[in-house]
């Protein structure tokens, strides 16, 4: 790998600023990585990632599971791994991938809530049934005690 192996000059960074979210920044990183087949160093200044937050940002990128990385004397170099290539081919961008994951999580959460609500309704019905049985028992018992006594 040559010492000049940095991201090619492009306009992918143009929409970023200091208020950009990590997802927006990661989206840009994946756009840049899609354009090259060799490992690159990230241009943290163009990503508005401060030196203090660089390790956290690197961890998020590495935790995505979509890149391979190699530690160098300076900063890590990144390259899309096979999963990253396939996911970005399927979803088009990192933000689309994240949106799809969030949508799937919301669907799962909704299904869980529906299941929990049905279980609660069933339990309420059982409690009502047991309460009615107890009231019937008490009423029958009181009637028997009055008749006997």
Residue ranges and CATH numbers for the domains of the chain are 1-92 (1.10.10)
- The two three-digit tokens of residue 134, written as one number: 């107890």
Q: Are 37 and 31 in contact (CB under 8 A)?
A: no
Q: Kindly report the length of the chain.
A: 149
- Residue with token string 């299904």: 111
Summarize the confidence of residues 46-71 as an average pLDDT.
92
Cα(55)–Cα(9) distance, rounded to whole angstroms? 24
pLDDT above 60 for 85: yes
| Element of type H or E holding 77 | strand 77-80
pLDDT in tens, 10-22: 567 888 889 999 9
pTM for the predicted model, two decimal places: 0.64
Report whether 61 contacts 26 (CB < 8 A): yes
Q: What is the DSSP letter of 70?
A: E
Tens-place pLDDT, residues 102-129: 999 999 999 999 999 999 999 999 999 9
């Amino acid at each position: 790998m040559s010492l000049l192996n940095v991201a090619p000059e492009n306009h992918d960074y143009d929409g970023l600023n200091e208020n950009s979210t990590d997802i927006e920044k990661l989206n840009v990183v994946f756009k840049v990585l899609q354009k090259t087949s060799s490992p690159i160093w990230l241009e943290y200044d163009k990503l508005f990632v401060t030196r203090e937050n660089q390790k956290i940002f690197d961890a998020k990128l590495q935790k995505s599971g979509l890149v391979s990385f190699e530690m160098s004397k300076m900063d890590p170099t990144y390259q899309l791994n096979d999963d990253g290539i396939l996911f970005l081919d399927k979803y088009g961008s990192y933000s689309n991938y994240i949106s799809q994951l969030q949508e799937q999580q919301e669907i799962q959460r909704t299904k869980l809530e529906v299941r929990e609500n049905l279980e609660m309704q069933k339990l309420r019905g059982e409690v009502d049934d047991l309460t009615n049985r107890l009231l019937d028992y008490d009423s029958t018992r009181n009637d028997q005690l009055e008749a006997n006594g």
